[in-house]
Amino acid sequence: MLPKHNILKLLSQSHLQKHAKIYYLCYLSCNPLCTTAESPSSTESPSLPSWIKFFDSQSPDEDFVIPSLAGWVESHRLNEKSRISSRVLSENHETDVDKISKILSKQYQSPDKVVEALKGCGVSVSNSLVEQTLRRFSNDLTPAFGFFTWAKTQTGYMHTPEMYNTMVDVLGKSKKFCLMWELVKEMDELNNGYVSLATMSTIMRRLVRGGRYDDAVEAFRGMKKYGVEKDTRALSVLMDTLVKGNSVEHAYKVFLEFKDCIPLSSQIFNILIHGWCKTRKVDDAQKAMKEMFQQGFSPDVVSYTCFIEHYCREKDFRKVDDTLKEMQEKGCKPSVITYTIVMHALGKAKQINEALKVYEKMKSDDCLPDTSFYSSLIFILSKAGRVKDANEIFEDMKKQGVVPNVLTYNTMISSACARSEEENALKLLQKMEEDLCKPDCETYAPLLKMCCRKKRMKVLNFLLTHMFKNDVSMDAGTYASLVRGLIESGKLELACSFFEEMISKGIVPYHSTYKMLEEKLEKKRLGNAKERINKLLAHAKEQKTF
């Protein structure tokens, strides 16, 4: 637990820093884009189109690497003469997944072409190879599905249910719902219990994210034909998916349809309460809690925390306190999640002193802080300009037996990038590597953005390689951020390169990103390039199948 003297020191400093400069954490904010379009029907080639120039250094900044980090950067054995790409692969110490990745990194018209390219590659297929490759290409449907199809034909290998579920997720994410259902049918024909609630959960989640709420409900209705029971747990999964997909109304309809034939639970009622609170329909949330009580379930810490989260969003801290008192009166102790929500909301409302006092309240309830609590504390201190304090909390976590996770590191990295502290940000990434903490897209997003802003092209190249080697697949938001960042830093050729690579993966870019690139090309009088991206975009939007 955080030592008392540390918290007291933070509390005592709060009033001194009331007017301190606030450093905002710049998390990359992105929503999944429409990915129904597929790769342009170009000839199979890994090379850039003729209208894109290769990268040449134009200033010392572009080749600059902070001396203290040079050894680490060089240890990744970058080929500095290669163009900056999200798919740079080292020639040295090549693993089987790297060999496969080199083949998959070319552009193919269809998965069948991928299967042909993989024939005779000399790689022995294993569960770990398939798992790593599918992670690495999870946002690139054509090579992912082609590889998956090829792998299952290899002698001595059979996809596990987990690998089938992964491929179902990739197809659903790409909105290839017909192919997704065909794969589920194939799983069912294996007759080994391959289709499970995990499979159906993935299907329902992807349908909801694609805006197909009724299809998700229909998938639930038809689960039994695949041997999956429509029980309390499955109903909770469906309702939770609908609520997270911003449709508590659909969740409530499902509740009304099945409440008399499927046993209810406190979790089901809490999902409804959360959904109504999320949409600011507190009266409906209170009705759900009343019905919960009538059905024989007592409102618990989750129920009350839903209301507290709503009041925090509204910055109505008086009602937050009232709800906490009500919980105390009913013998319902707040959880670490409850306290984290309150502390975070107070911090965002710039009530830092009050936010720090939440820790003292936790101690009196014998509630131990977890990783999320520490990450949130680091976030609000960084946002308030209390960088030194945030760093001390980060360093103190392990001493208290709480290991920083990817969220903690992402918070620290984003904070450093927001302040343009290049060395600190990269050293945090290095520390993640040493601690065997796997990064994700949100880890790299602020780092890539900072490199574009500072024109650190060599470091950008390193980060993209590091990202690929860690099996983090470039998503729509990352591409959009790169294209915009490169345009703003004057790297128009590279911006065009990533724009084309984005489209080749079947990702249709944001309209604002496209307009920004188009206007810049027009301003530079690069008519051929503008025509090229317009054709690529038009073709991508027309494509509906492989």
Whether 521 and 495 map to the same domain: the answer is yes
Confidence of residue 483 (pLDDT cuts 50, 70, 90): very high
Which residue pairs, CB below 8 angstroms and at least 24 apart, start in 413-416?
Answer: 413/443, 413/446, 413/447, 414/25, 414/26, 414/27, 414/442, 414/446, 415/23, 415/25, 415/378, 415/379, 415/382, 415/383, 415/387, 415/390
Total domains, the chain: 2
**Looking at residue 546, what is its pLDDT?**
58
Spatial distance between the Cα atoms of 187 and 166, rounded to a whole number of angstroms: 12
Confidence of residue 493 (pLDDT cuts 50, 70, 90): confident
Distance, CA of 326 to chain centre = 36
In tens, the pLDDT along 51-74 reads 333 333 455 556 666 655 566 666
Q: Is residue 379 assigned to a domain?
A: no
Structural domain that includes position 446: 404-467
Q: Is residue 264 assigned to a domain?
A: no
Q: Is residue 446 assigned to a domain?
A: yes
Whether 534 and 482 map to the same domain: the answer is yes
- Which residue, 415, 440, 467, sits at the end of a domain? 467
Q: Is residue 318 assigned to a domain?
A: no
Half-sphere exposure of 247 (CA within 13 A, CB side): 21
Confidence of residue 17 (pLDDT cuts 50, 70, 90): very low
Distance, CA of 463 to chain centre = 17
Whether 490 and 435 map to the same domain: the answer is no
Q: Which ranges of 83-140 would DSSP assign to H, the alpha helix?
A: 96-104, 111-118, 127-136
Question: Which residues, 6 or more positions from 130, have their beta carbon under 8 angstroms from its beta carbon?
Answer: 147, 148, 151, 159, 163
Please work out, in degrees rounded to the nearest 5, the angle formed at the alpha carbon of residue 66 by the alpha carbons of 65 and 68: 125
Whether 453 and 415 map to the same domain: the answer is yes
- Which residue, 467, 496, 517, sits at the end of a domain? 467
In tens, the pLDDT along 504-546 reads 887 878 888 888 988 888 888 887 888 888 887 777 666 644 5
- pLDDT of 82 > 50? The answer is no
3-state secondary structure at position 212? coil
Q: What share of the chain in percent tops pLDDT 90?
A: 63
- pLDDT of 238 > 90? The answer is yes
**Looking at residue 13, what is its pLDDT?**
52
**Looking at residue 429, what is its pLDDT?**
95
DSSP conformation class of 15: G
- pLDDT of 347 > 70? The answer is yes
Structure tokens at 522: 């027009």
**Looking at residue 33, what is its pLDDT?**
27
Distances in Å between the Cα of 142 and the Cα atoms of 41, 76, 105, 326, 498 are 12, 28, 10, 55, 17
Spatial distance between the Cα atoms of 314 and 545, rounded to a whole number of angstroms: 45
| Helix pair 111-118, 141-151: axis angle to 10 deg | 50
Whether 478 and 431 map to the same domain: the answer is no
Spatial distance between the Cα atoms of 462 and 78, rounded to a whole number of angstroms: 7
Q: Is residue 365 assigned to a domain?
A: no
Whether 459 and 478 map to the same domain: the answer is no
Spatial distance between the Cα atoms of 486 and 479, rounded to a whole number of angstroms: 10
DSSP conformation class of 426: H
Whether 429 and 488 map to the same domain: the answer is no
In tens, the pLDDT along 111-121 reads 999 999 999 89
Q: Is residue 327 assigned to a domain?
A: no
Question: Which residues, 6 or more positions from 341, have their beta carbon under 8 angstroms from its beta carbon?
Answer: 305, 308, 309, 312
**Phi and psi torsions of 312, nearest 5°:** -65, -40
**Looking at residue 476, what is its pLDDT?**
87
Q: Is residue 296 assigned to a domain?
A: no
Residue 164, H or E segment: helix 161-173
Whether 460 and 512 map to the same domain: the answer is no
Q: Is 256 exposed, middle or buried (0-12, 13-18, 19+ CB in 10 A)?
A: exposed
Q: Output the CA torsion 502→506→511→516 (10° steps).
A: 20
Spatial distance between the Cα atoms of 306 and 301, rounded to a whole number of angstroms: 9
Whether 512 and 496 map to the same domain: the answer is yes
- Which residue, 467, 490, 514, sits at the end of a domain? 467
Q: Give the residue among 445, 543, 480, 509 at the shortest CA–CA distance from 176.
A: 543
**Looking at residue 256, what is its pLDDT?**
97
Structure tokens at 211: 């805006």
**Looking at residue 525, what is its pLDDT?**
83
**Phi and psi torsions of 168, nearest 5°:** -60, -40
The average confidence (pLDDT) of the chain is 84
Whether 433 and 479 map to the same domain: the answer is no
**Looking at residue 107, what is its pLDDT?**
84
Whether 481 and 538 map to the same domain: the answer is yes
Count other C-beta atoms under 10 Å from residue 40's C-beta.
Answer: 19
**Looking at residue 87, what is its pLDDT?**
46
Which residue pairs, CB below 8 angstroms and at least 24 apart, start in 68-77?
Answer: 68/423, 68/427, 69/423, 69/426, 69/427, 69/430, 72/430, 73/458, 73/459, 73/462, 76/462, 76/465, 76/466, 76/469
Q: Is residue 197 assigned to a domain?
A: no
Distance, CA of 333 to chain centre = 32
The residue with greater pLDDT, 11 or 469, is 469
